[in-house]
Amino acid sequence: MHVSTDPTNPRNQEIYALWDQLADFSVGDGDAALTHLLSALCTMLSARNALWGVLVRLPSPKRADPLLGWRPRLVRVLDPIPAVAASVQKQYDKLWSDNVDLSQILSMAGDEPFRVRLLFEALPPAWFEGEHYRRHYLDVGFADSISVRIALNDDVRVRLFVFRDTQAPRFTAQDAQLLGFTMRGLRWFQRQQLLSHGLLIANASLTPAERKVLLALLDGHTEKQIAQKLDQSPNTTHFHVKSIYGKFGVSNRATLTSLWLGKLR
Confidence at residue 30, expressed as pLDDT on a 0 to 100 scale: 87
Q: Do residues 262 and 191 lie in contact, with contact meaning Cβ atoms separated by under 8 Å?
A: yes
Confidence at residue 9, expressed as pLDDT on a 0 to 100 scale: 74
Q: Do residues 137 and 49 lie in contact, with contact meaning Cβ atoms separated by under 8 Å?
A: no
Euclidean distance between CA atoms 166 and 137, whole angstroms = 9
* 90 Cβ neighbours under 8 A, 6+ residues apart: 135, 136
Euclidean distance between CA atoms 112 and 103, whole angstroms = 17
Euclidean distance between CA atoms 69 and 62, whole angstroms = 7
CB atoms within 10 A of CB 17: 11
Confidence at residue 232, expressed as pLDDT on a 0 to 100 scale: 92
Confidence at residue 75, expressed as pLDDT on a 0 to 100 scale: 92
State pTM to two decimals. Answer: 0.79
3-state DSSP assignment of residue 88: helix
Confidence at residue 140, expressed as pLDDT on a 0 to 100 scale: 96
Q: Do residues 133 and 125 lie in contact, with contact meaning Cβ atoms separated by under 8 Å?
A: no
3-state DSSP assignment of residue 227: helix
* Distance (Å) of CA 235 to CA 240, 244, 252: 9, 14, 17
Q: What is the DSSP letter of 63?
A: T
Q: Give the pLDDT means over successive 10-residue stretches in the chain (265 positions).
A: 59 92 87 96 97 83 80 91 94 86 93 95 96 96 97 89 96 96 94 81 75 84 92 93 85 76 45
